[in-house]
Amino acid sequence: MPTTKVFKTRMQGNSVSISIAKDADVPVGREYSFEMDKDGRLIYTPVVEKKNPWHDGTLDGYDFEADVKQMGFNGGYESSIGAEGGQY
């Protein structure tokens, strides 16, 4: 059963804050969403990190050229028509 501790709110700049004890093992820098229910309970839920395949290495080495060939569409590789590829 969880241990109940009492904390007091305090002003910090223009915000009201509640400190979390170090022994609660809440990681520093972790993002939480916040809601207050109809009974005034404060509910903090960890935000699930959204993975970005362009930044996390998932697509490293992926053969996009093969996809383009399979689709039969050369989007981005068509020859210029007009001034879009020249000097302005």
DSSP string computed for 14-75: TEEE----GGG-PPTT--EEEEE-TT--EEEEEPPPPP-TTTSSTTTT--HHHHHHHHT--T
Q: Spell out, as residue ranges, where the chain has pLDDT lower than 50.
A: none
Which tokens hold the place of 18? Answer: 């509640």
Q: What is the per-residue pLDDT across 31-56, written as a single tens digit (0 to 9) for each? A: 999 999 999 999 999 998 888 888 88
User: Whole-model pTM above 0.85?
Assistant: no
